[in-house]
Structure 1
Amino acid sequence: MTEVVNETPGDRSGTWRRTATVRRFFLTLFVVGQTVVASYFLLWILPYHGGTWVELGLLALFILLYMWIAVGFWTAVFGFVLRLTGGDRHSLLKRHPESELENTALAKTAIVMPIYHEPVQWTLSGLKAVYQDIERTGHLDRFEFHIISDSRDPNVWLQEQAEWHRLCEELGAEGRLFYRRRRVNLNFKSGNVADFLRRWGRRYRYMVVLDADSLLSAGTIVKMVQLMEREPNVGILQTAPTIINGESLFARVQQFANRLYSSLFATGLAAIQMGDAAFWGHNAILRVEPFMAHCGLRKLRGFGLFRGPIMSHDFVEAAYMGRAGYEVWLEPELGNSFEESPPTISDELSRDNRWSRGNLQHLWILLFGRKLRLAHRMALLNGIMAYLASPLWLAFLILTTVEAVQMTVASINYFPEGHQGLFPLWPEWRPEWAIGLALSTLSLLFLPKFLAIFDAVIHGFVRGFGGVWRLFLSVLLEIVVSVLLAPVRMMAHSRYVLGALLNVSLSWAGQNRTEETTWRDAFLTQFPGMLVGAGWSAFAWSLDPMFFLWSLPVAVPLVLAAPTSVVLSRVGLGRAFRKKGLLVIPEELTPVAVLNDARRARAVTDEVPVITAVEAAVIRPRLNQLHLALARTDRHPRRAALLAPLVQRLADKGPDSLSRSELSQVFCDRTALAELHRLAWRSAPDSFWGRRIASLGKTEPDE
């Protein structure tokens, strides 16, 4: 192991904090300065120049939305400039030569995958690929793997247990690959991780957190551990995941946009946040001891949405880690970090419905969290604005419509409310200014996309995107899709924000990863937005032809929302574009070992089972023995009395006779499960269990 560099963590902290302060100052200067100029133009575009309450409302909303867009624009510009000059010399990777990292010994590390009602074989095949990749490096002895489940459906968690056991036998991973399912599901994913840490956290110095769709290469994981060893003041180190395995046209567009644009945005974001970065909940490494000591999440004590467990835990945990004096870094140069995209816009919006509630909860922490660093408060605000921007945009459109109605239908008011003075306020129109402001706003949205093309050309990545012309056409296609989806997301997010603030109940479910959107589902889901778009456009036409033209960029995508969602969900179209070399990414053209392993493992699909996981756990002797070993043994007499009639009913009528909760109670109890196995194998041939045993094509003796 190499000797530690002379500079202390405190010295380094002071250096990067001074640099971060300067960078944040210039970012604020650019954003605020640009917003002031744009707001001045808007004031002179408005007929009464801000002389009415409606126009003041428009101005306030415009300022918020324009600043939100400008922050993203300048973040991308910062990233472009830094990449042009060789990268951020203050990043963690730039501090340590490759030889120094390679000679750094590894500490004991847990690789943790929380799961909840995921496709079992598909999910654990990804973890298998990570395991095999680490095994090839020769560092397997420094890592242990934990599958921590919150699944409630017995057909899911019994399959999880069986697949985990099969993987242990296949990989020879006994004593290194562990599975545990919580019987009491508290506090969502963060509660699951907290439960793991309470039981086993002290065994490890670090913890790498994966999502069900996460893949991390062994080289990246090893380098993360080595960086943490060299940087004792770093509490969380976050990678910038690349979206992969997109099949539908929607997923491929998302995958392409993420891969091409994230180089700029992630580099710029990392350079601005530095050691005050956010944690995204997965594809990251955490220092276990301070995480356990300082990042526990108490329930919110507010009202409605702001009362109860925190749903989106990651940003809050990063803020708490920073409050405790530890650094949180985003390191974009740590490559080969992957995740997957929802296959359809409907699935993305279903996920956003969950995420919006968690992000809006951060309002309470933003306002009342104690001793949080300003940078982490800004990260919380950034997450809130990701969803709050939609209702603000919708409100801006509504006030614009009100303004158009007042100017078209009502008589001109020369002394509007709020105007004081002896002289009338004459309405003025400056269409050329309005066009200029619109074009400048569009440039903030689309210029970073073309900067990303230049970045790919400069750094020699164009071939990985199919060549210059295919890259350019792919960007144009992505722009068209983003324009079509922006109003759809606006309407959906506005509804989610309103539902969250009204504290409407929400169920949490696993993510669809394969199914296409049907025409029926598309029209049922998108019809309200289509109706709003058509109605607003018709009203605009009746009001004024110019206002009608102004409404089209929002109205047309809403009217086309159903066919758009159906077309984008089609896997065949996604594959056709890939065959033409469009919307491709470098990882599809250049082999990556962990991706290849995952694809091979997931391509091996078992035959459709003739019996469910619940039925197999009862009648297959080997599986029954496995589940018996994992079931609990402590048995209170009262519990035995409650389970006895459930076991008998299940033996007589089959699984459909019990609820999901009742099934779980039976299969969690060793004595009940053993008795059920005995009764099933002694049942008559024409009974439910007799027919299930016969369907296996053999009669295995009871063991």
Structure 2
Amino acid sequence: MSELAGRADANARRRTGSWRRIATLRRLLLSLFVVGQTLVACYFLLWVLPYHGGTLVELGLLGLFFLLYMWIAVGFWTGVFGFVLRLAGGDRHSLLKQHTAEVLDATPLAKTAIIMPIYHEPVHWTLSGLKAVYQDLERSGHLDQFEFHIISDSRDPNVWLEEQATWFRLCRELGAEGRLFYRRRRVNLNFKSGNVADFLRRWGQRYRYMVVLDADSLLSADTIVRMVQLMERSPKVGILQTAPSIINGQSLFARIQQFSNRLYSTLFATGLAAIQMGDAAFWGHNAIIRIEPFMAHCGLRKLRGFGLFRGPIMSHDFVEAAYMGRAGFEVWLEPGLSNSFEESPPTLSDELSRDNRWSKGNLQHLWILLFGRRLRLAHRMALLNGVMAYVASPLWLGFLILTTVEAVQMTVASIDYFPEGHQGLFPLWPEWRPEWALGLALSTLSLLFIPKFLAVLDAVIHGTASQFGGVFRLFVSVLTEIVVSVLLAPVRMMAHSRYVLGALLNLSLTWAGQNRTQETGWREAFLTHLPGMLVAAGWSAFAWSINPMFFLWSLPVAVPLIIAAPTSVFLSRVRCGQLLRNWGLLVIPEEQVSVQVLDDARFARGNCGSEPVLTAVEEAVVRPSLNRLHQALARNVRLARREKLLVPLVEHCLTNGPGSLSRSELSQLFRDRQSLAELHHRAWESAPDSYWGRRIATFGQH
């Protein structure tokens, strides 16, 4: 046995060394293309600028342009790599292609937990998705190796009481007693990562792997089984990440996000996986994790810096991947694992609200990037990429400001023939090269748009264009997506710049509240976008007063900001999204071909019955079966504390109803077994004209 173990370790070391050499070559090639192209673009910019970089303003423009162009170039060449690899039949060094299908099919499964951390999610909708995953695994015949855990951080009693009731109902419907578990943390520490850590401390030793789902995640049974088999065949892999596709878009905004993700991510995920290989990032969900090294090496200490860089880490996933790599384990992204799904925000306002939270977490990665010890360079680059996803916006804004300053200097101020460093007989003559400026602008736009049309070509080559509505409709859909992207880019720039500034100053800034209707109202849209509209209008008016050419140059940024409110409202409309779908535009393969786990989720979510007439808190008091369930899940509070605190709360709730108590007071009541029992019995004994008498009468009618 020791000899076999030694051979296995030797094979693992050879495989690791092999992919690391290949990854190094690929990264060097990518760096050569990116840096070389960026330097050429910067050379052209130097000749476009009137003083050829001879002033501080122009040096600032050059520095910002270098950073922004390089970041765009990385995305461009990643997409090109993905296109070339797919032409060649895929990356033969990917984790999935290191094993034959026959070998993987013969690999036995190990005990695996499927966990879903939730926090104030729509309960029926969320757990119906988990039900669909359970049913798919049951059909596959592999259910015995999996157990499901709903781990809740919800604080509102109306939410977590409904979670408990829905979990119990699912257990009865599925016959999942002893296989589907629910646990709610009473102390909410360290966000989602703290929730997962609490689960692992309690039950981690029971499993070899865990599959992490978000509230909107769906994974097919075939994908989950294949993930476990790959982990069993690759003992040095600590995290295996799928590339989720966005689904269930209804509004025009959501359908555009869904279409672009489904079409373009095929190239970008393939290219990214080929460059990162075993040093990939973890996206926090739709992934499988080897529990033992994760528990040993991926604990997240609080940051010890200042302001934003002090306290718990808000965005945990990239950091956990970096720590897993530091411990000598591999992290792989595998685009070949299909049928992995998630959902996107339904409106622009929802997306910006989410980005406000995400920007703070990503900016915290600056501290880990600079001061994290022994992290692999590839993981540092992943952290930097996450930071740039938001810092790029204020850099772009800074570029626009410096461009305005340059235009003012050239128009209003007299020409300076002797800027910094030029004296005496060596003046610097300003030169204007509009044809070079146009060429540079077109080259920058090509980096953004060429990968989109490569994705169309890829779909035609691989015969999937018909699943996007056919070649003509696919092309029109891409043009539609490009137009909307151009309109939204300045809006996102202004929002992200504000978020970054607020995060760095450790301020609590909000852009818009969470929208539950999936449509944005006109009042909300104008209040949200009014600052950007005023700034853009003022900037354009100022540009016109300086120079008509500069005014025309400002329009691609100013116009989208000025019309941001009607754009936001129009994109949020479900009717518009469905109209384009009826025309065969912005469709995705999953809307053309049935996927069982998606069908099950849609059926379960649509089968929610009538709207409840009682709140979850009221049902917990009135309905006998639910009251017994909540009692079983509650605890016995010490007698002294009950007499002092809970007895008055029980009396107050019976007399005035639950609306008279705060969320914290209700939570204390409904966590206590005896208080639940007393509330139930006395509510049923109350007078017909009392609050609880009327609630019981309503319950009896339904």
Instruction: Please give the TM-score of this superposition, normalised by the length of structure 2.
Output: 0.98
Confirm whether residue 490 of structure 1 aligns to residue 493 of structure 2.
yes
Q: Deviations over 1:175-209 (max 9, x none)?
A: 00000010111000000000000000000000000
Instruction: Map 1:245-264 onto structure 2 (within 5 A).
Output: 245-264=248-267
Q: Deviations over 1:510-551 (max 9, x none)?
A: 965642100010001011111111111111111100000000
Equivalent position of 2:217 in the other structure: 214
Instruction: Check 1:207–1:336 CA distance in 2 against 1; reply closer, same or farther (3 A cut).
Output: same
Q: Deviations over 1:319-373 (max 9, x none)?
A: 0000000000000000000000100000000000000000000000000000000
CA distance in 2 between partners of 1:506 and 1:527 (Å): 16
Q: Structure 1: which amino acid aligns with 2:93?
A: H
Equivalent position of 1:665 in the other structure: 668
Equivalent position of 1:187 in the other structure: 190
Select which of 118, 131, 143 maps to 1:115: 118
Instruction: Check 1:217–1:659 CA distance in 2 against 1; reply closer, same or farther (3 A cut).
Output: same
Select which of 122, 132, 145 maps to 1:129: 132
8 Å Cα contact 1:117-1:510 kept in structure 2:
no
Confirm whether residue 164 of structure 1 aligns to residue 167 of structure 2.
yes
Instruction: Check 1:38–1:636 CA distance in 2 against 1; reply closer, same or farther (3 A cut).
Output: farther
Task: Give how far 1:605 is off.
Answer: 2.5
Task: Give how far 1:637 is off.
Answer: 1.3
Equivalent position of 1:310 in the other structure: 313
CA distance in 2 between partners of 1:384 and 1:172 (Å): 45
Select which of 329, 343, 347 maps to 1:344: 347
8 Å Cα contact 1:578-1:584 kept in structure 2:
yes
Equivalent position of 2:285 in the other structure: 282
Task: Give how far 1:678 is off.
Answer: 1.8
Q: Secondary structure at the match of 2:700?
A: coil
Equivalent position of 1:400 in the other structure: 403
Q: Structure 2: which amino acid aligns with 1:122?
A: W
Confirm whether residue 374 of structure 1 aligns to residue 377 of structure 2.
yes
CA distance in 2 between partners of 1:181 and 1:306 (Å): 29
CA distance in 1 between partners of 2:326 and 2:512 (Å): 33
Q: Secondary structure at the match of 1:685?
A: coil
Confirm whether residue 241 of structure 1 aligns to residue 244 of structure 2.
yes
Q: Structure 1: which amino acid aligns with 2:430?
A: P
CA distance in 1 between partners of 2:324 and 2:58 (Å): 43
Instruction: Check 1:421–1:70 CA distance in 2 against 1; reply closer, same or farther (3 A cut).
Output: farther
Instruction: Check 1:654–1:392 CA distance in 2 against 1; reply closer, same or farther (3 A cut).
Output: same
Q: Structure 2: which amino acid aligns with 1:203?
A: R
Q: Secondary structure at the match of 1:8?
A: helix
Select which of 540, 558, 561 maps to 1:558: 561
8 Å Cα contact 1:45-1:433 kept in structure 2:
yes
Select which of 33, 48, 53 maps to 1:50: 53
Task: Give how far 1:638 is off.
Answer: 2.6
Task: Give how far 1:260 is off.
Answer: 0.3
Instruction: Check 1:493–1:175 CA distance in 2 against 1; reply closer, same or farther (3 A cut).
Output: same
Moved more, 413-422 or 211-220: 413-422
8 Å Cα contact 1:116-1:510 kept in structure 2:
no
Confirm whether residue 153 of structure 1 aligns to residue 138 of structure 2.
no
Equivalent position of 1:633 in the other structure: 636
Segments of 5+ residues of structure 2 without an aligned counterpart are none
Q: Secondary structure at the match of 1:312?
A: coil
Task: Give how far 1:419 is off.
Answer: 3.6
Select which of 261, 271, 274 maps to 2:274: 271
Q: Deviations over 1:566-621 (max 9, x none)?
A: 00000011011111000000010000010000011111122111110111101111
Task: Give how far 1:697 is off.
Answer: 3.1
CA distance in 1 between partners of 2:323 and 2:636 (Å): 39
CA distance in 1 between partners of 2:656 and 2:355 (Å): 41
Instruction: Check 1:476–1:509 CA distance in 2 against 1; reply closer, same or farther (3 A cut).
Output: closer
Q: Structure 2: which amino acid aligns with 1:390?
A: S
CA distance in 1 between partners of 2:508 and 2:552 (Å): 39
Select which of 525, 533, 536 maps to 1:533: 536
Equivalent position of 1:435 in the other structure: 438
CA distance in 1 between partners of 2:155 and 2:511 (Å): 11
Query: Considering only aligned residues, what root-mean-square deviation do their CA atoms show, in Å?
Result: 1.5
Equivalent position of 2:226 in the other structure: 223
Task: Give how far 1:687 is off.
Answer: 1.0
CA distance in 1 between partners of 2:583 and 2:520 (Å): 24
Confirm whether residue 75 of structure 1 aligns to residue 84 of structure 2.
no
Q: Secondary structure at the match of 1:696?
A: helix
CA distance in 2 between partners of 1:98 and 1:147 (Å): 32
Instruction: Check 1:485–1:647 CA distance in 2 against 1; reply closer, same or farther (3 A cut).
Output: same
Q: Structure 1: which amino acid aligns with 2:297?
A: H
Q: Structure 2: which amino acid aligns with 1:475?
A: V
CA distance in 2 between partners of 1:432 and 1:103 (Å): 63
Task: Give how far 1:259 is off.
Answer: 0.3
Q: Structure 2: which amino acid aligns with 1:502?
A: L
Q: Structure 2: which amino acid aligns with 1:578?
A: R
CA distance in 2 between partners of 1:65 and 1:289 (Å): 40
Equivalent position of 2:523 in the other structure: 520
Instruction: Check 1:641–1:508 CA distance in 2 against 1; reply closer, same or farther (3 A cut).
Output: farther
Confirm whether residue 608 of structure 1 aligns to residue 614 of structure 2.
no
Q: Secondary structure at the match of 1:236?
A: strand
Segments of 5+ residues of structure 1 without an aligned counterpart are none
Select which of 28, 31, 37 maps to 1:28: 31
8 Å Cα contact 1:279-1:315 kept in structure 2:
yes
Equivalent position of 2:586 in the other structure: 583
CA distance in 1 between partners of 2:446 and 2:423 (Å): 37
CA distance in 2 between partners of 1:534 and 1:508 (Å): 20
Task: Give how far 1:698 is off.
Answer: 4.7
8 Å Cα contact 2:356-2:510 kept in structure 1:
no
8 Å Cα contact 1:236-1:327 kept in structure 2:
yes
Confirm whether residue 292 of structure 1 aligns to residue 295 of structure 2.
yes
Q: Deviations over 1:63-89 (max 9, x none)?
A: 000000000000000000000001001
8 Å Cα contact 1:354-1:508 kept in structure 2:
no
8 Å Cα contact 2:353-2:510 kept in structure 1:
no
Confirm whether residue 98 of structure 1 aligns to residue 101 of structure 2.
yes
Instruction: Map 1:383-398 onto structure 2 (within 5 A).
Output: 383-398=386-401
Q: Deviations over 1:616-641 (max 9, x none)?
A: 10111111101000111242513441
CA distance in 1 between partners of 2:305 and 2:677 (Å): 47
Task: Give how far 1:684 is off.
Answer: 1.3
Equivalent position of 2:413 in the other structure: 410
CA distance in 2 between partners of 1:158 and 1:583 (Å): 39
Instruction: Please give the TM-score of this superposition, normalised by the length of structure 1.
Output: 0.98
Q: Structure 2: which amino acid aligns with 1:177?
A: L
Fraction of identical pairs, as percent: 80
Confirm whether residue 140 of structure 1 aligns to residue 143 of structure 2.
yes
8 Å Cα contact 2:499-2:509 kept in structure 1:
no
Task: Give how far 1:8 is off.
Answer: 1.2
CA distance in 1 between partners of 2:36 and 2:545 (Å): 39
Instruction: Check 1:506–1:649 CA distance in 2 against 1; reply closer, same or farther (3 A cut).
Output: farther
Moved more, 666-675 or 273-282: 666-675
How many matched pairs? 697
Confirm whether residue 463 of structure 1 aligns to residue 472 of structure 2.
no
CA distance in 2 between partners of 1:561 and 1:221 (Å): 41
Q: Secondary structure at the match of 1:697?
A: helix
Q: Structure 2: which amino acid aligns with 1:335?
A: S
Select which of 647, 650, 672 maps to 1:647: 650
Q: Deviations over 1:268-300 (max 9, x none)?
A: 000000000000000000000000000000000
CA distance in 2 between partners of 1:428 and 1:511 (Å): 51
Task: Give how far 1:223 is off.
Answer: 0.1
8 Å Cα contact 1:208-1:283 kept in structure 2:
yes
Equivalent position of 2:64 in the other structure: 61
